[in-house]
Amino acid sequence: MKFNAHQIAEILNGEIQGNAAVEVKSLAKIEEGEKGDLSFLANPKYTPYIYTSKASIVIVDKSFTADKDINATLIKVEDAYASFSQILELYNQMKFNKVGLSKKADVATSSTIGDDVFIGAFTSISEGVILEKNVKIYPNCYIGENVTIKENTILFSGVKIYHDCIVGANNIIHSGVIIGSDGFGFAANRNTNYKKISQIGNVVIDNNVEIGANSTIDRATMGSTIIGNGVKLDNLIQVAHNVEIGEHTVIAAQTGIAGSSKIGKNCMIGGQVAISGHLRIADKVKIAGQSGIASSITEVGKIVQGPMAFNIKDFQRSYIIFKKLPEIYETLNKIKKELDS
């Protein structure tokens, strides 16, 4: 994929300073740019690199003024960072714009395949599956019976989606994700053995969701496990049965959410957070990494931290005292000895 400076300037509505015919075929950070690379300068602290970079084209703000000669062709735009992001998106669209069904894929005759769909080798598409237009499924994926995947969604290699689940439009699901496996449902009997409770629900994922590698989302016991519009899940996240995550909530890696808990909209949850089952988390709540949530958070916008999380300011004050405990203990011993004497 090659672009020249003139083509890039047209896409970004930018002004060219230098050779409009120079071509690029790859993207790079400005400090690592080589001939044939497209880079950008947005952060002023990286300005010295523009004079030493070997990148062929650099996107800069219109306000940028060079102090000395620059070898690269410049494309001046209103916002260099936003413009480079636009180029990255275009690059991704072109890179992943695969179409066609591999001869090594197993596609059931009763499935419905939309226009411009891609299905890679050794992928299995079961009976009754609906793939809407422009869905991209990479090799070694499994799509169970009666699954629906809506338009423009990408499944990278090794994704498994169990039967009856629904995946919305414009989603990105990374390698190793498993959607719709059984929830952790067992009933103890008199002998303290555990009998499996059948999980007959499904998973429903709304639009514009991204799910990181090796995350798991369990199907509901009954009803649906629901991931709302615009939710972003990092790698290695466990979402249990009947959980609901509100729209535009973001969750960092290694977080686990136990069954039937409901997470509000626009929440931010740090890494390695543990959320107990059957809880309610209000909208706009922020939970610091490695916190444990054992009770519902009903206050909108509350910020919490701690192994048994409580108000973040109280936690920070408590932690200051905790660090001083040896000193406090020594002082108390001195006072005790003085009193005893």
Q: Per-residue pLDDT tens for 116-144?
A: 999 999 999 999 999 999 999 999 999 99
3-95 — its CATH code?
3.40.1390.10
Burial of 10 per CB tally in 10 Å (0-12, 13-18, 19+)? exposed
Residue count (the chain)? 341
Residue type, 208: N
- The pLDDT-based confidence of 78 (bands split at 50, 70, 90) is very high
125: Cα separation from own chain's centroid: 25
Stretch(es) of the chain classified as CATH 3.40.1390.10: 3-95
Angle at 262 between CA 308 and CA 238, to 5 degrees: 70
Tokens of 9: 């300037």
* pLDDT for 231: 98
100-315 — its CATH code?
2.160.10.10
Mean pLDDT (the chain, rounded): 95
**What is residue 311's three-state secondary structure?**
strand
* pLDDT for 36: 95
325-340 and 312-323 helices, crossing angle to 10°: 50
- The pLDDT-based confidence of 91 (bands split at 50, 70, 90) is confident
- The pLDDT-based confidence of 318 (bands split at 50, 70, 90) is confident
Ordered DSSP codes for 115-127: TT-EE-TT-EE-T
- Name the residue among 276, 282, 313, 312 with its Cα closest to residue 297: 282
How crowded is residue 325: how many other Cβ atoms within 10 Å of its Cβ? 9
Is 90 exceeded by the pLDDT of residue 145? yes
Single out the catalytic residue among 6, 163, 174, 241.
241
List beta partners, residue 24.
Answer: 3
| Cβ atoms 181, 218 nearer than 8 A | yes
* pLDDT for 312: 86
Average pLDDT over residues 54-76: 95
* pLDDT for 228: 98
- The pLDDT-based confidence of 199 (bands split at 50, 70, 90) is very high
In this structure, what is the dihedral angle of CA atoms 44, 48, 52, 53, given to the nearest 10 degrees?
-20
Instruction: Report pLDDT digits (tens) over 202-221.
Output: 999 999 999 999 999 999 99
* pLDDT for 323: 87
* pLDDT for 310: 78
Average pLDDT over residues 209-234: 98
- The pLDDT-based confidence of 6 (bands split at 50, 70, 90) is very high
Q: Is 278 a catalytic residue?
A: no
Interstrand relation of 244-245 and 262-263 (parallel, antiparallel or unpaired):
parallel
Tokens of 128: 């009754």
* pLDDT for 319: 84
Stretch(es) of the chain classified as CATH 2.160.10.10: 100-315
Phi and psi for 49 in degrees, rounded to 5?
-70, -25
